[in-house]
Amino acid sequence: MKTPTVSVIVVNFNAGKLLTECVHSVLKSVVSVQVLVSDNGSTDGSIQHLKNTIQDDRLHIHLNHANLGFAKGGNIVLPLALGEYILFLNPDCLMQSDVLERLVCKMKERPDVGMSGCLILNPDGSEQAGARRRVPTPWRSVVKVLYLNALFPNHPRFQNIILSNEPLPESSIEVEAISGAFMLVRRTALEEIGLLDEGYFLHCEDLDWCMRFRSQGWKVLFVPDVEVVHAKGICSHSRPVRVEWHKHKGMLRFYGKFFRHQYPMPLMIIVIIAVWLRFLGLVMFQCLRRLSLR
């Protein structure tokens, strides 16, 4: 196989037949690609369906035999990646054949860009929250939880973390963070910044990476005229409480890693309490929902 322009890393956990659709859409790309599927112990037949459906020497399947989490599952196949650019792609994302070509062209025009993302759409065509966002600092999280952005919509101190409620930019813009569902990374930048932090099991590792890229001077680019469709949550819908546990635990790791010296301790304690109260509230909601469905 010739050296690919883009190595695509797909971390799979019970994505069903969508995994095969995802890989098929990647293999149709105009640019040369290599696809590395890292399977975290799936039990739904998704890997067997992929093997039965696609036989292509550009596809490599790595079986982890256990759920290692997103970061470790992605990192484990990185040594096999040969491309000048590396795409971390969720297994429930579908793309058109020109997506990678257009994004690579953007990054070649901007050698200061270390990572780029695109417009991520829900299956109904609406913009998915998180494709372009501000970093959720402890203060911004307080603003979100208390809905202070709704009370003071035009005040710069009370901005929403999610940018999908704002008008779509007409051209590519630098943002603080993009979604981990689709992260195209320049190899030279990755080699400088390092691997995904395996201290996160699920969620927040993308925010961590964006912070680290930007702290070393690399730009994070959002390209609004390039689109992918993401059937969000297909890999985690059967374990909502466990997913929320890892999400909230990851958020606390993120706060502690980047902000514990920037905020007074009383505020950090309040944020930590608020995070776990939010988690308990979501658990109670899930329990009540299950009881109502019986």
Model confidence at 110: pLDDT above 70: yes
- Predicted confidence band of residue 131 (pLDDT cuts 50, 70, 90): very high
Strand partners, 12: 39
For the chain, the distance separating the N- and C-terminal CA atoms, rounded to the nearest angstrom, is 54
Determine the pLDDT at residue 236: 54
> Residue 5 pLDDT > 90, yes or no?
yes
Mean pLDDT of 262-274: 79
The percentage of residues in the chain with a pLDDT greater than 70, rounded to a whole number, is: 95
Residue 280: pLDDT band with limits 50, 70, 90? confident
The closest alpha carbon to 86, from 31, 136, 160, 140, belongs to 31
More confidently predicted of 161 and 220: 220
Please give the residue that has the higher pLDDT: either 130 or 284: 130
pLDDT of residue 61: 98
Distance set, CA 157 to CA 147, 151, 160, 170 (Å): 13, 12, 9, 25
